[in-house]
Amino acid sequence: MKRVNTLYRVSTKKQVDVTKDDIPMQKIACHEFAERQGWTITKEYSEKGISGFKVSAEDRDAIQDLKQAALNKEFDVLLVFMFDRIGRIDDETPFVVEWFVHHGIEVWSVKEGEQRFDSHVDKLTNYIRFWQASGESAKTSARIKTRMQQMVEEGNYIGGSAPYGYRLVKRGRLNKKGNEVYDLEIDPAESEIVKMIFESTVKYGHGSFQLADRLNKMGLRTHSGAKFQCNSIIRMLKNRIYCGYIQTKNACSPFIERIQIIDEDIFDMAQEILQQREKKNNGKRTVALKTKGESLLSGNIFCGHCGGRMVSTTYHEEYVKADGTKSIYHTKKYICYHRSRKLNECDGQAAYRSDIVEEKVLSAIKSLFDKIKTTPEQEILEHKFKNQAEDCKIKKAAV
């Protein structure tokens, strides 16, 4: 009695128990076929959500396990529902089938019978079969991409988990199979967090690490239940959906007012800040490099001699007290990064005490504000500023 190993595969996890080619149906058909042949099924392999068109056999555990079992002489027949379950790659899958046959394994399909290699016609049939399957996959992929693009351009949500700030609801929209599908709706509580993230970035210069830490301390989590990370915040800041546009790699919907959380002006300002914070744009940066730490100006002032960026460092100097004991004196200073790394010829001072530099900068800023005359417009601005300051205090207390 021949020993049989079976292979079942579906391209997407949605196919399991849903379509006519789902795994339970493949399994039933293979068992009935093996019983008619008088074979015994010794082991079954299932692949869920594995594309036979996009995923190479080298990257499929089931294929590699079957090859190892073949080398160990553990089975005599490889049985599938249809040959395209083995794969749909025209320049690879025919050779996978041929490999099993050359290693003494019969390859059978419930629908197409046995694939043999006794003649050139057998080989040609094998190649043509998978060439045709590859072509069908390519056409299906093109149709799906085109339809997905059309759906986005029509303003429809095309699936996946909802971005933070939204929830999925059913509004009566049906797909081509007549099943009701989800649409996006703003989540009131989460949308306030999204607004806070954009506002903190644009108005106060808070960084992604700082914002992620703040959300985690508030006990908030992403939709997957994970803690917020720097990348989570950056992805949110770059997502145009908050402006009211559903966007994919190849398409963008028209403006959808009901899903807008952030004004486009605020969004554009956030993009400018993110771009300037990238290392490749360091020379053109006009926003603060750092938004936390004890040094007020580190990375935000420049050497007047060579134009290099001034950064903060701590000096540890040893001195002897009156009683003869030694102690360490810690002092913060600003140094020219280019000079310290010998990147250019800078004839400026080696270091500047941070307290003296910051005092002069703050004094210059204060004198500028003192020169501003009292006007009706200024009174309006002061009143508006006080209101904003009160709002900030309330939000901070809530955190």
- Pairing between β-strand 3-10 and β-strand 77-80 as defined by DSSP bridges: parallel
Supply the pLDDT for residue 144.
61
What confidence tens digit (pLDDT) does each residue in 99-111 have?
A: 999 999 999 999 8
Domains and CATH numbers, the chain: 3-148 (3.40.50.1390), 166-284 (3.90.1750.20), 301-398 (no CATH)
Instruction: Considering only the C-alpha atoms of the chain, give the largest distance between any 2 of them, rounded to a whole number of Å.
Output: 102
What confidence tens digit (pLDDT) does each residue in 73-94 have?
A: 999 999 999 998 898 888 888 9
Mean pLDDT of 295-323: 77
CA angle in degrees (0–180, nearest 5) for 97-102-108:
45
Token pair in block for residue 94: 């025919």
Where are the alpha helices (H) located in the chain, listed in sequence order? 23-37, 61-71, 93-102, 120-153, 188-204, 208-217, 230-238, 264-277, 337-340, 354-370, 376-398
Short-list 7, 13, 16, 86, CA closest to 53: 86
Percent of the chain scoring above 70 in pLDDT: 83
* DSSP class per residue in 334-369: EEEHHHHTT-S---S-SEEEHHHHHHHHHHHHHHHH
Token pair in block for residue 189: 């509580």
Query: Based on the number of CB atoms within 10 Å of its own CB, is 397 exposed (0-12), middle (13-18) or buried (19 or more)?
Result: exposed
Confidence of residue 14 (pLDDT cuts 50, 70, 90): low
Contact criterion met (CB below 8 Å) for 121 and 115:
no
Short-list 181, 183, 175, 160, CA closest to 259: 183
Instruction: Determine phi and psi for 166, rounding to 5 degrees.
Output: -135, 165
Alpha-carbon span 264 to 276, nearest angstrom: 18
CA distances from 385 to 12, 379, 392 (A): 55, 10, 10
Confidence of residue 394 (pLDDT cuts 50, 70, 90): confident
Supply the pLDDT for residue 285.
52
Better-scored residue on pLDDT, 20 or 113: 113
- Say yes or no to pLDDT of 377 above 70: no
Mean pLDDT of 241-270: 87
Long-range residue pairs from 181-186, CB within 8 A, at least 24 positions apart, any chain: 181/157, 182/157, 183/156, 183/157, 184/157, 184/241, 184/246, 184/259, 185/258, 185/259, 186/258, 186/259, 186/261
Q: Which helix (H) or strand (E) holds 331?
A: strand 326-336
Mean pLDDT of the chain: 83
Beta bridge partners of 330: 316
According to DSSP, residue 197 is labeled H
Residue 379's CB is within 10 A of a number of other CB atoms, namely 10
Supply the pLDDT for residue 154.
64
- Residue 205's SS3 state is coil
Better-scored residue on pLDDT, 95 or 138: 95
Mean pLDDT of 105-132: 88
Alpha-carbon span 37 to 90, nearest angstrom: 30
By mean pLDDT, which of 5-14, 216-225, 315-324 is the weakest? Answer: 315-324
pTM: 0.47
Supply the pLDDT for residue 231.
92
Alpha-carbon span 305 to 300, nearest angstrom: 16
Mean pLDDT of 283-299: 57
